[in-house]
A and B are shown apart, each in its own frame.
Chain A
Amino acid sequence: MLDERKLSAARKRTYGIGLLKGMAVTLKHLFKHNTVIEYPDEKQDLGPRTRGVIALKEENCTVCMLCARECPDWCIYIDSHKETLPPKREGGRPRKRNVLDRFAIDYALCMYCGICVEVCPYDALFWSREFEYAEYDIRQLTHEKEKLSDWMATVLPPPALEAGAEQPGQPVAATPAAAAPAPTAVAPAPTAVAPAVQPAGATTPTPAPSMSAPAETTEADKARLPAPPAHPAPRATTDPEAAGRSPEVPTTGQETVLSDQEKAVYQEDPGPNVDVPAEQPQPVALERSEDAEAVYQQVLKEQLDKGSSAQVAEARARVARAKAERGIKRGPTPLTVDKPVPSAPTKGAPRPEPSGAPEAKAPQPDPGPVAAPAEAGAAGSDEAETSAPAAAKEPAAEEPPSAEPVSTPDPQAAAPAVGGSDETPDQVFERVLQEEKAKGSSDAVAQGRAKAARVKAERAQK
């Protein structure tokens, strides 16, 4: 609540005293000791939790892809392949594990949110305080795993807990040996990777295959290893049951749950593993394929049918119209049931076409109307300049239907300016000029459009 008295005091006329007070403040600063840190010469001791750069502890990474999936900027690239390992013991099942091939963070995209570091279940990502890795070339900002691993040297040990703080994640019954690695309850380590989780066993660059594991396993692992034979493959469905049935061997229950998790993790992997770059949101294709007004009506109707309130329906319809006017294809908005892919060709789009302009749906071949304004602008000599925007809009969407709706039934060929394969640019120019004249466009407009068409044709030839 604002204090009315304070407000009225603030409103009171002071006849310039406030100005003098202000000047006194700045004058005081003139004589104060300056505390500026002159950066390149003098460096500040940054806080221990500074978000400078993300370091990768490669041997801890299990290619679980959590970081890449959680990254809001999609700036983590991970490639891996599967390796089949021989069974650990006679008659066992051969096991599969992922081997990290590529781990890269594009710091040109990264927004330093730290979600990847938070989300990493195996402590493979860390914040480092280093921040001086500017580059002259943006491509250099993509740090591959070697560089990311180098940053590990700059990672500080985690700050000490406050006095009396609860020790995080330590199971009460933990053996003294198990205290060192990451708490098993929180981040259960698959046995194959277990040695790598141990700081002591971090000698191999990639997670060591289990054959070499015994050499470096700690007591905890040794205790765990003999356990499976006792319970060959219990595949306990629930943890408490397992624990209840075999209280004398607590590790067994863990072990089975572990393998389940392991499996789950591995099953989830392959998809995103391969598709990460492909799934990156691509720029929505700018295709001028719909009549804005028709889109408006259609969306309005759809929304009303769906039971949206009149306001909502109108707003969504307006948005759709604005997008259509700007030439942005309707993306997978909630309006359509079939969820078309935004970048997919419009031909197969399940959504009903607007009644007004069936011809207009002809999808453009590669050059597309995105390039059209630029081309028109390039073509724009003085007299064409005024009509350039119009010219850019027209030839793609409206001209073909009006001019030769019969001769171009194939939507692919519907853009004569671009796709006219057997015409020379000059012919295109003449033809478009005639068409425009026939349509009754003014001289300047016709000239401009024809020129734009010629330029496009020239480009297409090249």
Chain B
Amino acid sequence: MFELNLSDWQILLVKLGLVLAIVPAITLVAGYAEHKVMAHLQHRLGPMYPGGFHGWATLLADGLKFIYKEDIIPAAADRKVFSLAPLAIFVPTVLTVLVLPLDETLVVEELDLGLFYLLAVSSISTIGMLMAGWSSSNKYALIGALRAAAQLIAYELPIVLSAAVAAMLAGTLSLNGIVEAQEWPFVLWPPGIGLIAFLVFFGAGVAELTRPPFDMPVAESEIITGAFTEYSGMRFIFSTFFPEVANMVIISGVATTLFLGGYQPIVPLGFLDAVPGLVWFTLKTAFMVFMLLWIRPTFPRLREDQLQKFAWKFLIPTSLVLILAAGAWVLYAPEGLK
């Protein structure tokens, strides 16, 4: 064996390279899962041809097709903003991965303010949506962008508040710290608070992803993919499909980290410790992704006002009450129960 002597920035570069390779790969896998799982939930087969075996290469073929497509920028569009918007959506998506602890030590950068960073970075994409919608000079794009902004901001609140509950219970903002602080049975403890916070987080997460039943910003049958009506080719992929699927995985990962015990084994049995944390993390995340996939073909799209109502009249008050409850639990719960 030989010793690798790398300086800090070299290590960082390697890690970033890995992230940039792994995120698209995971996106492809999740995208394929989305195609197939959704198809079977709807009693279809989904893609069967590309690649030979159950259409495994569908997304590769799709990607290739989109690369070859013409990149059209409307004449009346604000060219700079129009071409920067996909970046503003895509980059934050990748940035959020940097702090997710896949295993005890398997994390690109362990930040003490990990949760804060995560929530801050993930909300940048709202600006990207607005950029895309405004610069397209298209009414559908504009409506879509405004809907997206209204929705993302409305659902940012319950996400932040329910994540705050997790942070309060753990007593830290570091994601590793939050994982370590959780003990079996993760979500179910403290009773009620954890589970409700998890459900609020999950529901708001679905809306944050602008996936059905909360997909009014991209509602293809009414406003034609909303803010991205005018996009084509790779810009389209990088502004819609890629962030949506990647975010789906990331939200699942965050939910796993905050509420499901992250890389810890599902049940605290001694021999399960031998299984690497990455496997547990992957399993839990995959379960969460499946839940998201399951919801999508099941429920019809809500109306815009119903969506806002759900956020402001239900999720936000609930999470506010949860914060009070969590605070009370942290302060007054008997030592033995914590």
Contacts and interface: CB of A to CB of B under 8 A. Distances in A.
A26 B45 contact: no
Interface string A6-50: 000000000000010011011101101011101000000000000
A90 to B, nearest CB: 73
Interface in B274-301: 294-295, 297-299
Interface string A144-160: 00000000000000000
Interface in B305-323: none
B303 interface: no
Interface in B36-80: 37, 40-45, 48
B43 A23 contact: no
A36 B44 contact: yes
Nearest to A41: B48
B41 A30 contact: yes
Nearest to B199: A16
A42 to B, nearest CB: 11
B298 A25 contact: yes
A36 B298 CA distance: 20
B48 A26 contact: no
Nearest to A33: B43
A75 B43 CA distance: 39
A22 to B, nearest CB: 5
Contact of B298 (A26, A32, A38): A26
Nearest to A34: B45
B294 A27 contact: yes
Contact of B294 (A26, A35, A36): A26
Contact of A29 (B42, B48, B299): B42
B299 A19 contact: yes
A32 to B, nearest CB: 7
A38 B41 contact: no
Given A19-B299, A22-B298, A29 B45 contact: no
A23 B44 contact: no
A34 B44 CA distance: 7
B37 A30 contact: yes
Contacts of A35: 43
B298 A34 contact: no
Contacts of B44: 34, 36
A23 B298 contact: yes
Contacts of A32: 43
Given A26-B297, A27-B294, A34 B48 contact: no
Contacts of A30: 37, 40-41
Nearest to B40: A30
Interface residues of B, number: 13
Contacts of A19: 299
Contact of A38 (B48, B294, B295): B48
Interface string A191-212: 0000000000000000000000
Contacts, number: 32
Nearest to B295: A23
Given A19-B299, A22-B299, A34 B40 contact: yes
B275 to A, nearest CB: 27
Contacts of A34: 40, 43-45
Contacts of A29: 40-43
B200 to A, nearest CB: 13
Contacts of B294: 23, 26-27
A23 B37 CA distance: 13
A276 to B, nearest CB: 41
Contacts of B297: 26
Nearest to A37: B45
A26 B48 CA distance: 21
A394 to B, nearest CB: 26
Nearest to A24: B298
A36 B41 CA distance: 13
A23 B299 CA distance: 8
Interface string B9-44: 000000000000000000000000000010011111
B310 to A, nearest CB: 12
B328 to A, nearest CB: 25
A397 to B, nearest CB: 30
B272 to A, nearest CB: 27
Interface in B178-200: none
Contacts of B37: 30
Nearest to A36: B45
B40 to A, nearest CB: 5
B308 to A, nearest CB: 19
B41 to A, nearest CB: 4
Contacts of B42: 26, 29
B84 to A, nearest CB: 26
B314 to A, nearest CB: 11
A32 B43 CA distance: 8
A149 to B, nearest CB: 36
A38 B299 contact: no
A59 B40 CA distance: 51
Nearest to A16: B199
A91 to B, nearest CB: 74
Contacts of B40: 29-30, 34
A29 B299 CA distance: 15
Contacts of B299: 19, 22
Contacts of A38: 45, 48
Nearest to A21: B298
A380 to B, nearest CB: 13
Interface in A121-143: none
Interface string A267-291: 0000000000000000000000000
Which residue, A19, A26, A34, has most C-beta atoms of chain B within 10 A? A26
A32 B44 CA distance: 10
B131 to A, nearest CB: 26
Contacts of A25: 298
A210 B294 CA distance: 73
Nearest to A32: B43
A26 B294 CA distance: 8
A23 B41 CA distance: 10
A27 B43 contact: no
Nearest to B41: A26
Nearest to A25: B298
B25 to A, nearest CB: 25
A340 to B, nearest CB: 42
Contacts of B298: 22-23, 25-26
A207 to B, nearest CB: 50
Given A29-B40, A36-B43, A36-B44, 12 more contacts: A23-B294, A23-B298, A25-B298, A26-B41, A26-B42, A26-B294, A26-B297, A29-B41, A29-B42, A30-B41, A34-B40, A34-B45
19 contacts: A19-B299, A22-B298, A22-B299, A26-B41, A26-B42, A26-B294, A26-B297, A27-B41, A27-B294, A29-B40, A29-B43, A30-B37, A30-B41, A34-B40, A34-B44, A34-B45, A35-B43, A36-B44, A36-B45
Interface of B: 37, 40-45, 48, 294-295, 297-299
Interface of A: 19, 22-23, 25-27, 29-30, 32, 34-36, 38
Sort A-B residue pairs by CB-CB distance and give the 8 closest, nearest first. Answer: A26-B41, A26-B298, A29-B43, A36-B45, A30-B40, A22-B298, A30-B41, A23-B298
